[in-house]
Amino acid sequence: MYHNPHNLVNYLRAISNKIVINLNNLCDIKFIWRYELVELMFLGVIMAVGG
């Protein structure tokens, strides 16, 4: 399939970059979701105490 080893290296590099980007996006989503959850809990506590 690959006659040129350089192409294989580029292909593997592209795949690993994609995986890294996907992992970073996943971590961002988790972080944002956790932050939103904390914010909602905080608002809930304020409403429970103040209301």
Supply the DSSP string of 1-51, one letter for each residue: --S-HHHHHHHHHHHHHHHHHHHHHHHHHHHHHHHHHHHHHHHHHHHHHH-
- The predicted model gives 3-30 an average pLDDT of 86
- The residue written with tokens 């294989």 in the block is 8
Q: What was the pLDDT predicted at 18? A: 93
Sequence-distant (6+) residues with CB within 8 A of 2 are: 8, 11
Please state, for a pLDDT cut of 90, what percent of the chain lies above it. Answer: 16
